[in-house]
Each structure stands twice: as C-alpha cells, then as structure tokens.
Amino acid sequence: MLSPERLALPDYEYLAQRHVLTYMEDAVCQLLENKEDISQYGIARFFTEYFNSVCQGTHILFREFSFIQATPHNRASFLRAFWRCFRTVGKNGDLLTMKEYHCLLQLLCPDFPLELTQKAARIVLMDDAMDCLMSFSDFLFAFQIQFYYSEFLDSVAAIYQDLLSGKNPNTVIVPTSSSGQHRQRQVLGEASMEGVEASLFYQCLENLCDRHKYSCPPPALVKEVLSNVQRLTFYGFLVALSKHHGINQALGALPDKGDLMHGPSLDEELERLVVRSRLHRTFAAHRAKEKQGLWLSEEETSPEALERVPSASVPHSTPY
Amino acid sequence: MDCQTEVNCGLHLVIQTSSLPEKNKVEFKLNKDTPSFPGRLLQHDLERNYSSRQGDHINLVSSSMPSFPILQRSSEEKILYSDRLTLERQKLTVCPIIDGEEHLRLLNFQHNFITRIQNISNLQRLIFLDLYDNQIEEISGLSTLRSLRVLLLGKNRIKKISNLENLKSLDVLDLHGNQITKIENVNHLCDLRVLNLARNLLSHVDNLNGLDSLTELNLRHNQITFVRDVDNLPCLQRLFLSFNNISSFDNVSCLADSTSLSDITFDGNPIAQESWYKHTILQNMMQLRQLDMKRITEEERRMASILAKKEEEKKRENQKQSLLKEKKRLTINNVARKWDLQQRVANIVTAQDRKDSDSPSQDPCQIDGSHISASPEETGSLDSGLTSALQGLSVIDSHLVELDGDTLSLYGSGALESLDRNWSAQTAGMVTTVSFTFIEFDEIVQVLPKLKIKFPNSLHLKFRETNLVMLQQFNALAQLRRIDQLTIDPQGNPVVNFTLWKYYVLFRLSHFSMQKINGTEVTQNDMIMAERLFGILAHVASSELPQYRLISILGDARKKQFRYLLETKGKKPGIVNEENNDSKRLIGENTNRATLNYTTRDFYNERLEEIKEKKKFCKMYIEDLVKEATEINMKNEALQKLWPQMFIELVRDAVIEIRNKNSYMKLCLQQITDQK
C-alpha cells in the first residue's frame, strides 16, 4: 500500500489519478441533497455506507449519467451492474434491438444517452442495418469497449480518418527516425485499399496511449490484436477489441464470454425466483379461490414444484 | 271510377257520375230538325246486329268516300231524339259522317273500335261526347266543338293530352285507362271540375295551374312518386291517389298547403304501410274530413297530433345526437392533427440535436443525415382540408372528454384538466375503464394521483397515441391502487415494439396481479418468465442500494404523494388514511420494486439543474478542504524535514543555558519576578 510510487506523486496528481476528489465531492453532494433523511441516522454512518457502496460498485445504481461516466471505476461498476441485472435476458436467448437495449440501460440510468448505445450497436453490426437484433453477449462486450474507452475510441476514430485520407498524424508529434520513411511510403496511394495498414495504425495508437489522460487498453494487448492482420477497418478493429478476452480481463468488470451466463449468484437467483413465484401462485390461488370458490391442484404445495421451476425446463414463451 | 252514361228514354239525360251534384244534370231537348243530305250514297260498313237500344233505327249507308260510312237516321228518330245519338257497340272502326244533325248535343260512341276522332267537326253544338272504350291513339278533331262540356275518352290508347285548346267550357274530362305519361295542355281549362287520369302512366303530378274550378282529381292506379302544384287548385276537394308509388309525405308536401282539400286517398301506396302514416297525414292536413274513404274522428285527430309531436321530438333528438357525434368526430380529428404536428416538431428537434452533437470527425463512416420529411406544405394542405370542413361547426375544442357509462375517454392534453371537475360519487364510481388518446404519457403521469382518488374503481387503462417509448415509464403506473387490465395500443406507442415490454409490465406491476394485457390473458408462465427476466433487477434495486439511497428514493415518492394530498381541496379524512395504508401496503408488498420509479424527463432535468448549484458548492468546499489538507500535509512534511535540525538546536540551546547552574538559577528567579 505504501508503495514509493504513491508517495512520489504530488498531492493533487495523486488525488486526481485515483479520482478521490470525485467521490468526496459526490459524497458531500449526496449528503446535502438528503440532509433530512441522513441526519436521522448519522453522518459517519452515511460516509461508511457511501464508500462501501463505492467499493462494491453499487454506487452508480440509478444515478445520473454524468456521475456514471466520471471515473473508470464507475464505468466498470456500471457495466458490471448491467450485466448482473440483465444476464437473465441473455440467458433467455432473446435477441433485442438497439433501442430495447437502450431501454434496459435507461432502467439503470434514466438519462443514458442514445448515442453511446448506437455506437455500441454499430460495433456489433459493423455499421450495417441498425435495426438488426443483437444477442446479449455481443452487445455487452461491444458496449463495454465503447463505454469504458469512449474517449480513447473517439481519438482512434479521428486517427483512422486521418490515415484513410492520407494524413499521418504522427508527422507532427513523434520525432522517431523510422516514421519519416513510413510517411513516405504511406503517401504513395494506399487509399485505394480498404482500411489502414495495421502496423502504422498501431504506431499511432501507441502514441495515443502514451499521451492520453484517459484510460486506454493496455498497449501490449492492442499490439496483439493488430499483429494478426495486415490491414483492418475501423469497425473491424473495434470488433477485435471487444472480442479479445485479454482486454476484458484487464478491464475486470465482466467475466469471460464463456462464463457470462453463469455466476455465483445464479443459485441465489434461482431460489429467490422460486420462492417469489410460489408466493405469487399461492396469492393468485387465494384470489381465485375467493372469486370462484375453486381449489387449485395440490401442485402448488408439492416440493416437486420447487424443482420444476428452474430455468432450463421453463419453455421459452413466444413473444407477444 | 268510370264515367257511365245511362241514357234514359225519357226527356233528360242523366250522367251518373256519383261525384256530380244534382244541379249539373244535363238536359237535352229533343230537336226536331232534320237536315237532308244531297244525294249521297250510303254504305253499309257493318251489317251485324245492332245491340244498342236505339240502333235499330239507324242506317249506316255507304258513301262515296270509301272509308267513312254515312250515318242516317229515320226522321222519327230524328224527331224523338234530335239532340242525342248513341252508336254504342256498333263495331265501328271509324267515326261515321254524321249528316244533318247539327243540333246534336250528345254523341255516344262507347265500346267501338274507333281509332281516330273524325267527322264530328260539324257538330258544333255538341256538349257531351263519349268515346269510352275505343282505340283512339290521339286526341284530335275536337277543335270546333267549342261547347263541349263532357269529354269521355276513357279506355283508349291515348299517349298524350293535346288539342284541347278550344274546349274552354270543358267541365268533365275523363282520360282514364290510357297511356298518358304527363299532365300537360290542360292549363286553359278553367271550368274543368272533374279530371280523371286513373290507370295511366303518370309518374308525377305537376303543371296543374290554371284549373281554377277543379273539384275532383282522380289519379288512381298510376306510378306517381310525387305530387306538386296541388296547392294551386283553389277548389280541389277530392284527390284520389290510391295505388301509386308515394312513399314519403315530403313528396306530397304541397297537399298540406291546400285549404280546400277534404277528401283524400292514399291506400295502395307504400306510404300507407308506414307506422307513422296516419298521424302524419292527419297532422299535416288539418282540413281533411275523409281519409281513404273513411271519416276522420276527433279522437283520431288528437292521437295524430300527439304522435306527430313525439315524432318531431324524436327527430330533433336524433339530429342533436348526430350533431354531437359529428362535433365529437371533428374534435377528435382536431386533436389528432395537433398531436401529429407536435410529434413532427419534436422529431425535427431531436434529429437536429443529434445532428449537432454528432461531429463528423467522430465517425469515420458516412452518416446520411437523418431523413426528415418535415414539409410545412404537407401540413398546410392537411390544414386547409380540415379547416374548410371545420368551418361548418362554430365551436371546435382542442380536447374532448367523454363519459359513457363505465368508460371515461380523454382526448388531447387539455382533457386532463377535466379530472379536477366535481364528479358525482355515483358517476365516478361507475367508471371502470379510462382511455387516454393523443396525450403525452409524461403528462398523464402527473395526474395519476388525481385519477386514483377521483375514480377509485378504474381497473382498465387504455393508452393510444401517448408516446410511450421507454420501459421505465411503466414504473409510474405502480402508484395506482389497482389495475386489472392494461391496453397499450401499438399506434403511437413505440414501446410495444420491444420484445420484453409485457414481461416488464408484469414484473413491475406484479402486485396488481393483472388479468389481461392488450386483450390476452396473463398466464402463470408469463408471470414466471417476467420474474425470471427481471428478478435480479429488483433484487439489486432493493438490497444492493445503500440504505440512505433507499430512503431518499422512497422518500421522494412519498413526498410527492403527500404534496399532492395537500394540494387537493375538499379531501375527506378517510381518504388520507387510505392513502397511508396504500403506501404502506405498497411498500410492504414490493419493497424490492418500489425503488424503480419513473420521473418524467422534464422533472429529471429540473432536478439535475437544481443539483448543479449544490455540486458547485461541494466542489468548492472539497477543494478548500483539499487545499487545507495539502497545506497541512506540506507543513507536516516540511516539519518532518526540519524537525531534526530544530530538535538539535533546541537541545543545544537548553544545554548552553544550563551549563552554569548558578547563573541559570539567577536567571530563572529574575524571570519569575519580572512576570509579577
């Protein structure tokens, strides 16, 4: 904890890097907003709860978009929350449109902007037929890349555009000797082929990562992605990023694609579900009894019913 | 009724039409004039038996003209019946030349086969001409008969009324049983009293002006559909319209204006089959004394007026209803139009916003700017079409509220204010369905508390063209007391296009145990599926939120409810308790879902605005704190650095001081005395 690097940074920079101030400000703001309610049970307790929730990643639930976007940790927590809340939708196998995913996002964040969802959808659909249906996992990983690294991706897009049109952004900034030769080669009509050359692209990205204040994917992994191909398009690059599980792990918000549908809370969920639905059925049965004076079959109380409810055997009901 | 001539052998001729009063008996005197014919050859055209009573004395002699027989009577005959001549059933095909009978006043050609009226021009004293039952196709050859008073042309083949110009004294004109299609050329017959046009091919009655003496008009057995000009007949007393094609009183409305009519028949017409026939006729024709040959009693008249009044009222009622319906339809059209415009404007605005925020450098691929088909000309043309229709009605509202038994329908956002009205407990209690059309859902959300209180039994909500776009909006419905059925019309509600919307509704509003959504029953499987899909969300929303967030979110909802209660006037204490119970129950049943709220976009933005101030303050405050902290930290660090040196100096100073014990003691003592 008390590593020397930590002490090496001056105060403000350290605080800024860890976004401590953001959380402090937000905590005080929340305190001010809910003065009456919080004063009842103590300010110390409030701060404890607040920072606990920050650690757990639940602080972003139902918060405004500006807060969720504020720090990488917030973004990661949001992604995780989204995954956990709607994993069942994915498990059910429903394919949804971009608008519907956006709706689900809005359930957790009321003012989530549509542009981000659209951009994420573009990655999945390779910018084609925006009304297509997408699977949950595809969307989730694309969304992760788009949301977590949104500023980085914007810059990458700019770079790509420049490269496509023949300009090399590196000419101004990076004074390495090799780039000069590359520059000359590049000027000779590369525009006719699709996309850009991978290695050149990587160099620009590397420079970007170095000078970028925002979070970037680890350059080594980016290099890995780019080393497989000779040329690539912008969306091709993004798709590769989203599918790369190394980057996913580096982010740390979501599990690997294979484990997406599983999770430790699965069992918990099942149990809860069963109990709830059983309660509902008995409640409905009571109402029905009152109304019609009939008894439902003894199904509802038998223990076998509890086992029959689990996900695998419930038929996928047809959409309305 | 046919005009029958019954010739008496006596001194006078009685024309027995029952309609003629006694005074018009035509009397004929016997004329003893016997004109002679200069040497004409008479020809026997037909030598068959003479069946008429007076035929025996008549010789039909062939003449020099090949087709016409010449008629000659014996001088006794001429003396006996000098002014009448009967040639009934003589099998005549042509009119014979009648010589030497210039004083003839009655001529009877009944039951023959005559095709043309000829050879009677010289009989200028003729008063009575009977050509009943012949084959005459055209009225002609009458132009010299200026004294003619009775012309009987029944049962012929006449197609047109014509050539009657000189018959100004005509009293009775009988044209029944012909093929006449039109009443014409009778306008000069100002002495005509009886006109018989029964059994013809008339389809309408008009052109009757000028018949100033007409008392009886017989139009039975025609195809008449409407009657006109009858009010121009000042003397008309009897009108027979039986067995025609009259179906409505409007088609014979001129009858109401005739003051002289006392006797009318309509039997055999479609109008006579109607339920309102009798009293309508009686009501409109107060002057009548007989209808369909039956006297009209006082009782009947009274009944008629009562029934007619009822009819009038019913008609007025219907008219009012249709006017109301029309107004309603136009209002709804108006509301729809406004809604449409609103939506288009909103779309343009959002599209433009998006375009602004999308700077071209961000996306390397080409974006076709969103295709906005907003054309003011389009809306303009729509407007002009409707406005011209609307100009007919004087008042067009911009919203409509309709209460129809158990359904309350609201069109247009202005209609939401009607919820403030004082609805009687009974009417409000009967309402089970509330339907919203052309109103923004966000606006509806704001009046849901009012709805809950004023219409406690509303169990079925319908939304059409209400701009439901997010699943979140359904959260707002949770605050109601109960919903059994929900209908979200796909028109104007994009949310229906989502695959999961019904499950979300079932999940969020599970405490209502809804029966039907959009007409389909909610099954057990649906509920389970809904739980499966969104159960975690509820779990997260309740258990993983920190306590203070829970309280603040729930507190918000409760605060809103209380605020509304404080605002309503005339609330009863009972309701307030119910409210508390409701909210308690709500929270008890569904704590895990209660945090899923919906605030309308406007409210949300408002709140964010409000928070900005606080955020600024917080930022400044924290900055100050940080500054302080870093200063202190700096100072601390500096101190840490300097402390060893300082400590050494302190120690050195102290040691130097104490080196000489005596002088130190003196110094301390001095210091103490100085202090005092």
For the segment B101-117, the average pLDDT, to the nearest whole number, is 88
For the segment A223-241, the average pLDDT, to the nearest whole number, is 79
B113 phi, psi to nearest 5 deg: -125, 30
Is residue B574 pLDDT above 90, yes or no?
no
For the segment B12-17, the average pLDDT, to the nearest whole number, is 39
B320-329, B526-535, B546-555, B558-567: range with highest mean pLDDT: B320-329
Is residue B402 pLDDT above 50, yes or no?
yes
Cα within 13 Å of Cα(A231), Cβ side: 9
The 3-state DSSP class for residue B519 equals coil
Show residues of chain B in contact with A106, CB under 8 Å. Answer: 470-472
In the chain, the amino acid numbered B661 is K
Answer yes or no: do A154 and B362 touch at CB < 8 A: yes
pLDDT of B454 reads 84
- Rounded Cα distance between B443 and B340, Å, is 17
A190-194, B30-34, B514-518: range with highest mean pLDDT: B514-518
Answer yes or no: do A29 and B596 touch at CB < 8 A: no
How much of chain B exceeds pLDDT 90, in percent?
19
pLDDT of A304 reads 42
B539 touches chain A (CB under 8 A): yes
Q: Nearest-CA distance from B546 to chain A in Å?
A: 6
A312-316, B342-346, B638-642: range with highest mean pLDDT: B638-642
Count of C-beta atoms within a 10 Å radius of residue B167: 24
- Rounded Cα distance between B599 and B448, Å, is 13
Show residues of chain A in contact with B535, CB under 8 Å. Answer: 88, 269, 272-273, 276
Show residues of chain B in contact with A61, CB under 8 Å. Answer: 540-541, 544-545, 549
Confidence of residue B159 (pLDDT cuts 50, 70, 90): very high
Q: What is the pLDDT of residues A257-278, one digit of tens each?
A: 777 766 666 556 656 665 666 6
Q: What is the pLDDT of residues A108-131, one digit of tens each?
A: 888 899 999 988 888 888 767 677
The residues in B 461-480 lying below 8 A from A, measured between CB atoms, are: 470-472
In the chain, the amino acid numbered B486 is L
pLDDT of B178 reads 94
- Asked whether the beta carbons of B294 and B267 are under 8 A apart, the reply is no
CA B123 distance to own-chain centroid: 67
- Asked whether the beta carbons of B479 and B452 are under 8 A apart, the reply is yes
Q: Nearest-CA distance from B495 to chain A in Å?
A: 9
- Asked whether the beta carbons of B120 and B140 are under 8 A apart, the reply is no
- Rounded Cα distance between B489 and B468, Å, is 10
Q: Order across the sheet with B150-152: list the strands.
A: B84-86, B106-108, B128-130, B150-152, B172-174, B194-196, B216-218, B238-240, B263-265, B290-291, B294-295
- Rounded Cα distance between B94 and B113, Å, is 7
pLDDT of B311 reads 83
Count of C-beta atoms within a 10 Å radius of residue B9: 8
B526: nearest CB among A92, A95, A317: A317
- Rounded Cα distance between B268 and B270, Å, is 7
pLDDT of A89 reads 82
B611 touches chain A (CB under 8 A): yes
For the segment B634-658, the average pLDDT, to the nearest whole number, is 90
- Asked whether the beta carbons of A77 and A60 are under 8 A apart, the reply is yes
pLDDT of A242 reads 80
- Rounded Cα distance between B562 and B575, Å, is 12
Q: Nearest-CA distance from A188 to chain B in Å?
A: 21
CA R_g for chain A: 25
What's the distance, Cα to Cα, between the start and end of chain B in Å?
159
Is residue B241 pLDDT above 90, yes or no?
yes
pLDDT of B476 reads 86
Show residues of chain A in contact with B494, CB under 8 Å. Answer: 99
Picking from A59, A62, A265 by the largest number of B CB atoms within 10 A of its own CB, the best residue to mutate is A62
pLDDT of B670 reads 92
- Asked whether the beta carbons of B328 and B320 are under 8 A apart, the reply is no
Mean pLDDT (chain B) is: 77
In our burial notation (b when 16+ CB lie closer than 10 A, e otherwise), range B352-375 reads eebeeeeeeebbbeeeeeeeeeee
For the segment B561-565, the average pLDDT, to the nearest whole number, is 55
Q: Are strands B516-517 and B520-521 parallel, antiparallel or unpaired?
A: antiparallel
pLDDT of A167 reads 67
- Rounded Cα distance between A112 and A107, Å, is 9
Q: Nearest-CA distance from B570 to chain A in Å?
A: 30
pLDDT of A214 reads 66
The 3-state DSSP class for residue B467 equals coil
pLDDT of A296 reads 40
- Rounded Cα distance between B584 and B561, Å, is 12
Show residues of chain B in contact with A88, CB under 8 Å. Answer: 532-536
- Rounded Cα distance between B278 and B292, Å, is 10
- Asked whether the beta carbons of B249 and B227 are under 8 A apart, the reply is no
For the segment A269-295, the average pLDDT, to the nearest whole number, is 59
Show residues of chain A in contact with B624, CB under 8 Å. Answer: none
Q: What is the pLDDT of residues A69-80, one digit of tens each?
A: 888 889 999 998
pLDDT of B61 reads 57
pLDDT of B245 reads 92
pLDDT of A199 reads 76
The residues in B 485-504 lying below 8 A from A, measured between CB atoms, are: 494-495, 497-500, 502
Answer yes or no: do A127 and B472 touch at CB < 8 A: no
Q: Look at residues A152, A167, A175 and name the one whose alpha carbon lies nearest to residue A247.
A: A152
Residue of chain A minimizing CA distance to B358 = A115
Among A5-14, A25-34, B427-436, B562-571, where is mean pLDDT lowest?
A: B562-571
- Number of A/B CB contacts below 8 angstroms equals 181
- Asked whether the beta carbons of B158 and B131 are under 8 A apart, the reply is no
Q: Nearest-CA distance from A170 to chain B in Å?
A: 17
Q: Nearest-CA distance from A8 to chain B in Å?
A: 13
Show residues of chain B in contact with A35, CB under 8 Å. Answer: none
Picking from A37, A146, A154, A314 by the largest number of B CB atoms within 10 A of its own CB, the best residue to mutate is A37
Q: Look at residues A193, A166, A190, A168 and name the one whose alpha carbon lies nearest to residue A178.
A: A168
Q: Look at residues A157, A14, A159, A151 and name the one whose alpha carbon lies nearest to residue A75.
A: A151
In the chain, the amino acid numbered B196 is N
Beta bridge partners, B461, equal B434, B486
Q: Nearest-CA distance from A310 to chain B in Å?
A: 9
pLDDT of B12 reads 37
Stronger pLDDT, B179 or B85, i.e. the higher one: B179
Distances (CA, A) of B333 to B385, B414, B435, B440: 12, 15, 17, 17
Residue B165, judged by CB atoms within 10 A of its CB (0-12, 13-18, 19+), counts as exposed
Mean pLDDT (chain A) is: 73
- Rounded Cα distance between A306 and B26, Å, is 116
Answer yes or no: do B471 and A107 touch at CB < 8 A: yes
- Rounded Cα distance between B223 and B246, Å, is 8
pLDDT of B202 reads 93
Answer yes or no: do A96 and B365 touch at CB < 8 A: no
A61: nearest CB among B499, B544, B604: B544
Confidence of residue A213 (pLDDT cuts 50, 70, 90): low
pLDDT of B197 reads 94
B5-14, B536-545, B586-595: range with highest mean pLDDT: B536-545
Q: Look at residues B192, B201, B188, B187 and name the one whose alpha carbon lies nearest to residue B174.
A: B192
B626: nearest CB among A15, A37, A311: A15
pLDDT of B672 reads 92
Distances (CA, A) of B406 to B391, B416, B432, B457: 33, 18, 5, 10
Element (H, E) at B551: helix B547-567
Answer yes or no: do B626 and A21 touch at CB < 8 A: yes
Q: Are strands B290-291 and B263-265 parallel, antiparallel or unpaired?
A: parallel
CA R_g for chain B: 54
Q: Indicate left, alpha or beta for B333 from its phi (over 0: left) and psi (-120 to 50: alpha).
A: alpha
Q: Nearest-CA distance from B487 to chain A in Å?
A: 13
- Asked whether the beta carbons of B95 and B109 are under 8 A apart, the reply is yes
Q: Are strands B290-291 and B485-488 parallel, antiparallel or unpaired?
A: unpaired
For the segment B534-551, the average pLDDT, to the nearest whole number, is 76
Question: Any idea what DSSP says for residue A48?
Answer: H
B260-264, B441-445, B530-534, B658-662: range with highest mean pLDDT: B260-264
Answer yes or no: do B513 and A284 touch at CB < 8 A: yes
- Rounded Cα distance between A288 and A280, Å, is 12
Among A272-286, B271-285, B426-440, B559-573, where is mean pLDDT lowest?
A: B559-573
Residue of chain B minimizing CA distance to A234 = B364
For the segment B57-84, the average pLDDT, to the nearest whole number, is 69
pLDDT of B650 reads 93
Show residues of chain A in contact with B532, CB under 8 Å. Answer: 88, 92, 273, 311, 314
- Asked whether the beta carbons of B246 and B221 are under 8 A apart, the reply is no
The 3-state DSSP class for residue B245 equals coil
B645: tokens are 């040196």
How much of chain B exceeds pLDDT 70, in percent?
77
Stronger pLDDT, B142 or B3, i.e. the higher one: B142
B520 touches chain A (CB under 8 A): yes
